Structure 1
Amino acid sequence: MTVHVATAGSTDPAAPLVVLLHGRGSDEQDILTLAGLLPASLAYASVRAPIAEGGGFAWFANRGIGRPVAESLRETMDWFRAWLDSYAPPGRPVTLAGFSGGAAFAGGLLLDDPERFAGVAVLYGTLPFDAGVPVTPGRLAGARVFVAQGDHDTVIPRELLGRTWAYLTGDSGATTLARRDPVGHGLATPAVEALAAWLTT
């Protein structure tokens, strides 16, 4: 299967890599614009999800908004990891930054293999609960996580947003920077600024 990747930022093959994961029904070009607001010293790779949906693409089949089908999530996580391990061999720091459906996918990848990633940003989305990846106490001990949510988000179910917040700031064991802003389902400027700072600390 062809992997469609758009890049920005540093071209140094040793530069820390940030992989941008778009939301459901979007594509790799859409979220790549975020790279222009983040540190230029980092390398950015925006990957197109493999499932065609709604004029764009998705990371997994859904049982409902924010609720991945476990078998679909496993298949696309394995596909993504095969690409990532060839694109950025272990040893090169890799941070994932996912928006909405991409946030659930990023969270799934982190929960599946916490030691693979230097950090994960869960932007306006939920972790993939009840989808075949472990969400146990202490699972993310030592992991760096950034969480941004909108107080007025009406896309992701509030129960899932609350559960994500509680797990990542509590039982997961992760070192989590979490913020809520008075916005809906979209990137707030202060959240992007905080993300930019977090990526370089």
Structure 2
Amino acid sequence: MPNQPFPVIRWSADEGERAGTPLVVALHGRGADERSFAGLAPHLPSGTTVASVRAPIPEGGGYAWFANRGVGRPLPDSLAETSDRLFGWLDTVEARHSSVAVLGFSGGMAMAGGLVLAEPGRFSAAVLLSGTLPWDAGLSEETDRLAGLPLFWGRDTADAVIPADLVARTGTWLRERSGADLRERTYPGMGHGVSVQELRDIHDFLATAPPRAPGGRVTS
């Protein structure tokens, strides 16, 4: 990977205001950057801190999370390397927060999915938007892998950016095998993006997700 600081983060709150707050790690889409989620925090429950992270690989005027062999198909070694670096960063910040959730859009959904599949106990909730899980990237697909994890999956069923077979595979696994506490929502006419209604639904989802401290301990 390029020799650049990692991760580059745009925080929604100053350092002195973050202690004890729920943390949402926001992962942008392929070819975008950390500015994509700069305005996310006001749409989330009050007091939430957002860390909008820049992906490490320059691509298309922005950045990508992993090298790939086609849309939604990460190369296993590349996905694993970025995951390791993100987990290493989380090790330095998660203890300051009451919980850690991950939110990913498009290519960021594949990255977020890779994180929760690798270490589901690290997260209090996951928000997966307009993408696919990182199939065939060497991650466990065992039944109940995400047992009890509150998970929001939002998309437009007519979104043509992500291959339909990968979306269908994601849906089948999340509904039937993942063990996640799944909240699935579709938004006709939204396209490959995030709508105001979806942001409202994400707010409500995070507001009602059981608080779970880093490491997987349910706190209430």
Q: What's the TM-score, normalizing by structure 1? A: 0.95
After TM superposition, the structure 1 stretch with the greater mean CA deviation from structure 2, 127-136 or 27-36, is: 27-36
Amino acid in structure 1 at the alignment position of 2:32: S
**Identity of matched residues, %:** 45
- How many Å separate the matches in 1 of 2:96 and 2:77? 26
Mapped contact 2:34–2:54 kept (Cα < 8 A): yes
User: Does residue 188 of structure 2 align to residue 184 of structure 1?
Assistant: no
Mapped contact 1:20–1:32 kept (Cα < 8 A): no
Question: Could you say which residue in structure 2 is the equivalent of 1:82?
Answer: 88
User: Does residue 150 of structure 2 align to residue 108 of structure 1?
Assistant: no
Question: Could you say which residue in structure 1 is the equivalent of 2:46?
Answer: 40
Which of 164, 171, 192 matches 1:165? 171
Describe the shift of the 1:91–1:29 C-alpha distance in structure 2 as closer, same or farther (beyond 3 A): closer
Mapped contact 2:10–2:35 kept (Cα < 8 A): yes
- How many Å separate the matches in 2 of 1:179 and 1:108? 21
Deviation at 1:152, TM superposition (A): 1.4
Question: Could you say which residue in structure 1 is the equivalent of 2:11?
Answer: 7
Mapped contact 2:83–2:115 kept (Cα < 8 A): yes
Deviation at 1:12, TM superposition (A): 3.2
Unaligned runs of 5+ residues in structure 2 are: 209-220
RMSD of aligned Cα (Å): 1.5
- How many Å separate the matches in 1 of 2:182 and 2:77? 28
Task: Summarize the alignment of residues 45-194 of structure 1 with structure 2, pairs less than 5 Å apart.
Answer: 45-89=51-95, 92-182=98-188, 183-194=190-201
Mapped contact 1:9–1:40 kept (Cα < 8 A): no
After TM superposition, the structure 1 stretch with the greater mean CA deviation from structure 2, 83-92 or 143-152, is: 83-92
Aligned residues: 201
After TM superposition, the structure 1 stretch with the greater mean CA deviation from structure 2, 178-187 or 58-67, is: 178-187
